Structure formats: C-alpha cells, structure tokens
Amino acid sequence: MPAKSLPELTHLQYLVLGVLRGGEQPGRVVRQALATYDIRRTAPAFYQLMSRLEKARLVEGWYEHVAVKDQSVIERRYRTTPEGARLWAQAHQFYADVAKRSSLVRWSDA
C-alpha cells in the first residue's frame, strides 16, 4: 500500500532521527553526522534544533557524566521516542515508495 500523505518531518528532522535510529548518541556525534551531509550548524543552533525535537516529543535528551583522559565531563545524549521512530518510518516509507514507483509507473497512466 503506497504512502499517500506527505511526511510530517522536515529533511533535517528526518536526518537527525535517522542518525539516532541506530541507538542513543551524544549530541556532539549527531552534529558531526550532520556535518558529513554538509549541514554545518553552530553548537547553540544545533542544540536549539534538538531542543525543538525534544519539545515535539520526537527525541528525549539527558545529561550523562563521562570520563575523558581522567577528567569527568558531562555530555548531552539523545535517543528517539516511539513517536519519533514512527514518524521517521512513515517518512522513510513515503520516500521509498516514491523512489520505487518512479521507476515502475508512468505517471500519465497512474
């Protein structure tokens, strides 16, 4: 059954949730992952984006103490919520469906 409605996620949200799909990650790592797609944000702008995702209940974030070279530092970690995972899957299904149909269907006949 093809996905009929447009995804509710923006491209950026789709990307962030996609990065977190493999499991929880520190914000620093998510930001680095975005940079590989040439999306460069300052740290505050990135955490503002994450904060909005948290407020939309698509991800949850918390602080954790980690030891780096014998020093204890905190880092903000994130994971997707079930709602975030559901919306990501819906968007993914939509894009996959468009990609599949574009190679099989002549739209004028559809």
Q: For residue 92, what is the enclosing H or E element? A: helix 82-104
| Contact positions vs another protein (CB under 8 A) | 27-28, 31, 42-45, 47-48, 50-51, 63, 68-69, 71, 73-76
4 vs 14: CA distance, rounded Å: 18
Instruction: Report in angstroms how near the CB of residue 100 gets to another protein at its nearest.
Output: 38
Closer by beta carbon to another protein, 14 or else 78: 78
Residue whose CB is less far from another protein, 5 or 42: 42
Nearer to another protein (CB atom), residue 10 or residue 32 = 32
Residue type, 42: T
Contacts of 65 (CB under 8 A, 6+ apart): 72, 73, 74
